[in-house]
């Protein structure tokens, strides 16, 4: 890839606050880009709670890979995964969005993706499922799984 091609590459990310789609040049991902609509930071390094409407923006229309955690508040393994996902979101803020879907509040999304047990992690890129993992993972296992799936 030559320098001119690299300079024109961009990622489309959804704002975690207003869910507007924002085009960010790859070379500017480290600069804490702001949403032109609501002025909030786009790559916060924190998990984003999604509902049906925001799911479309973050997963189906954005090009930034999204790791979606399908969980429920009463689920012990889901609660154990929360700090692991928080760390992954912070460590991979410029290359991956971590999102959470509460299956109790969003049963239609859980049904759409055939979620039979929680926690279930699904990694998406460009609206397509890349990989799926059911059950809790520790931080190093999650990192290996993500690295393998993202290639």
Number of C-beta neighbours around residue 44 at 10 A: 17
User: Tens digit of pLDDT for each residue in 108-134?
Assistant: 999 999 999 999 999 999 999 999 999
Percent of the chain with pLDDT over 70: 95
Average pLDDT, the chain: 93
Q: Give the residue-averaged pLDDT of 37-54.
A: 95
CATH 3.40.30.10 is right for the domain spanning 44-150: yes
Which residues form the catalytic set? 75, 78
Measure the CA–CA gap between 9 and 4, rounded to whole angstroms. 9
Where do the structural domains in the chain lie, given as residue ranges? 44-150
Enter the tokens of residue 81: 């995964």
For position 8, what pLDDT does the model report? 67
Question: For 14-25, what is the mean pLDDT?
Answer: 95
**CA separation (Å) from 5 to 1, 9, 10, 63?**
6, 7, 10, 17
């Amino acid at each position: 890839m030559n320098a001119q091609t690299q300079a024109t590459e961009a990622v489309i990310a959804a704002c975690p606050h207003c869910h507007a789609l924002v085009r960010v040049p790859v070379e500017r991902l480290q600069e804490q880009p702001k949403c032109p609509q609501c002025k909030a930071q786009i790559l916060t390094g924190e998990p984003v709670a999604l509902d049906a409407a925001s799911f479309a923006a973050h997963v189906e229309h954005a090009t930034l890979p999204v790791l979606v955690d399908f969980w429920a508040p009463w689920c012990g393994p889901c609660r154990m995964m929360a700090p692991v996902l928080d760390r992954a979101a912070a460590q991979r803020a410029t290359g991956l969005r971590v999102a959470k879907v509460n299956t109790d509040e969003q049963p239609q999304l859980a049904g759409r993706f055939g979620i039979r047990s929680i926690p279930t992690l699904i990694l998406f890129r460009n609206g397509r499922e890349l990989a799926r993992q059911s059950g809790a993972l520790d931080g190093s296992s999650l990192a290996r799984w993500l690295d393998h799936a993202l290639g």
